[in-house]
Structure 1
Amino acid sequence: MIVKLLEGQIPICVELACALAAQALALPVPAPGLVIADRLDLPGLPPRFRGDTLLLLGSSYKIPDALFVQVLSENPAAEELAWSKLCESPTGPQGAIWDELVANADRHVENALFDGNKWWLFDHDLALPSAADYVKGCADRVTRQSARVFSAKFNQLAEQMVSRYPNCDELEKREAELKRRKENLMLMTAVARNWRHPDATIDGILSRTAVLLELIELRLPAIAQLMARRTNQPSAQDLWTSHLGHSPGRR
């Protein structure tokens, strides 16, 4: 596994929830894990991290394609080439929808990897920016509604897709695919609610992760509306309410 040390429990829960949700939705995000590491095995650890053992977030290791890495390193327009190849692949539209679903504004070419066969997406600790409030007040109706329709300020992959393929219907196809897998996500959420661990810290992380899986599940029915807003296209809901003589989004 590739492991990383995150400050605070919420970023760990967010990464874990996103990776687990991606597994349920059959998306190209590496499988996650929690890793307990001995302090002595972490050279250069900043002194603000205390304790003899630390909890890290892991993701299954994907080996980058050496030839593609070499091409990028020798290409003055490497970033543009990487975006182009990513958007041409099935991961392009999948990732655009995924980043909208988890409100991930931190997608860049450094957190996408080509292994010679497919593109993988990783690093989601800045996704679900409403996570902390949702975990504390998930039963509150206002908090739930706000979290359901929240949009990140940026969705770089969606913007790259739309700029290259303005009339592409792949985004709508991927939206439909995700919705068809909703039951898998619901099952993952139900299973996660029953996870327990004797260590209080890990147990707390697991319980919060289950709550965040519920949040992702809650956002899934609104994905078409969120993507329509992102790409400045009318959603089915907007067209319906406009036809009835109401302003979009109002009943």
Structure 2
Amino acid sequence: MTTRNDLPSDLAALVQRPPIYRLLGVGEKVYGDHLNHVWKGLAGVPGLDEPGIPVFAKYLPRQSQIDIELACGLASQVLQLPVPNPALVIADVDELPNHPNGLKSGPVLLFGSLFQPPDPFTVQRTKEGELGTEYIWQKVCEDEVAPQGAAWDELVANPDRHAQNLLFDGVKWWLFDHNLALQPLSDLYTSIGEASAQRKVVDHIARVNQILSQLKIRHSGNEDILKEADRLAKQAKKLTLLAIEMRKWKLDARIAPIMMIAATIVDLIALRLKPLGMYLEQRLETPTANNLWSSSS
């Protein structure tokens, strides 16, 4: 695929080819406190003689969840956020040990993300119940990932942030699991092309922003969260360009509809950038000029 010469270099690299991979061999089942079936393995680009890349690949029972994960994963790369590179991973059923009983035949389409090796000490702490959870949250809130994650989770209306989907690799924190983001999409899936449905998605506010709530408990991060929102808001054009380039990818009949809807979701994320600061101010209960004027009149 050829890309436009006027694209920013990071975006041009991202859209050079679609993130479609094939599982190479039998995956290793990953067990833990997560709802979906997950495997770890190597994945390669179909038809190319290249070394495989290590991925986590999870089975999502609803296509809408794959669309949302893919859109969030690609958007996060453009926004330069600590979210692993996303992929769609094709696998045969017999390559997925202990798979769901409902999977009888393949190929199976999984959502994949570039494997980030977790820090063993931090993994051990996550197994220590409430004390471990508090340790994770304290470390996250002391790191630059906290304002980034708070602004990001607000942008994609993601209520599903907890100690099990915050990963520390020994140097850097990573955010993953976004299949529950932008929840109105699940109900509006068949009408997502309509303006009324898109407005509901843009206006939606998640019931909770877990990282922001943890920062508020610790009385820190308000200014940094709003600065991050300002930084993200300046990237709206790049997200729109990403969606345009996604629609240009030549894909097979099964994957093309997924990519088209994911591109629409990226467009909706771009539209959510404009009110992002307002959504965060409301959640932070930050007084604005309008609020101050109203209270004194």
- TM-score, with normalisation over the residues of structure 2? 0.75
After superposition, the Cα gap between the structure-2 partners of 1:167 and 1:44, relative to the gap in structure 1 and judged at 3 Å, is: closer
2:135 matched to which residue of 1? 81
Equivalent position SS for 1:58: strand
Q: CA deviation at 1:209?
A: 0.6
1:34 corresponds to 2:88? yes
1:22 matched to which residue of 2? 76
1:215 corresponds to 2:274? no
Higher relative contact order (CA 8 A, sep 6+): 1
1:120 matched to which residue of 2? 174
Kept after mapping to 2: 8 A contact 1:2/1:61: yes
Distance, in Å, in 1 between the alignment partners of 2:175 and 2:244 is 25
Q: CA deviation at 1:137?
A: 3.0
Write out the 4+ residue segments of structure 1 that deviate beyond 6 Å after TM superposition: none
Kept after mapping to 1: 8 A contact 2:148/2:228: yes
Equivalent position SS for 2:108: strand
1:249 matched to which residue of 2? none
Letter in 1 for 2:197: T
Equivalent position SS for 2:117: coil
Letter in 2 for 1:192: M
Q: CA deviation at 1:52?
A: 2.5
Pick one of 208, 215, 232 that aligns with 1:154: 208
Distance, in Å, in 1 between the alignment partners of 2:70 and 2:199 is 23
1:136 matched to which residue of 2? 190
Letter in 1 for 2:277: A
1:180 matched to which residue of 2? 234
Give matches, 1:50-61, under 5 Å. 50-61=104-115
Letter in 2 for 1:56: L
Kept after mapping to 2: 8 A contact 1:3/1:35: yes
Task: State the aligned residue count.
Answer: 243
1:248 matched to which residue of 2? none
Equivalent position SS for 1:169: helix
1:107 matched to which residue of 2? 161
After superposition, the Cα gap between the structure-2 partners of 1:219 and 1:235, relative to the gap in structure 1 and judged at 3 Å, is: farther
After superposition, the Cα gap between the structure-2 partners of 1:145 and 1:52, relative to the gap in structure 1 and judged at 3 Å, is: closer
Pick one of 201, 211, 226 that aligns with 2:279: 226
Letter in 2 for 1:24: V
Kept after mapping to 2: 8 A contact 1:149/1:226: no
Equivalent position SS for 1:170: helix
2:97 matched to which residue of 1? 43
Kept after mapping to 1: 8 A contact 2:60/2:110: yes
Q: CA deviation at 1:43?
A: 1.7
- TM-score, with normalisation over the residues of structure 1? 0.88
Sequence identity percentage: 38
Q: CA deviation at 1:132?
A: 3.5
After superposition, the Cα gap between the structure-2 partners of 1:235 and 1:100, relative to the gap in structure 1 and judged at 3 Å, is: farther
Letter in 2 for 1:80: E
After superposition, the Cα gap between the structure-2 partners of 1:148 and 1:178, relative to the gap in structure 1 and judged at 3 Å, is: same
Structure with more strand by fraction: 2
Distance, in Å, in 2 between the alignment partners of 1:82 and 1:31 is 23
Gaps of 5+ in 2: 1-54
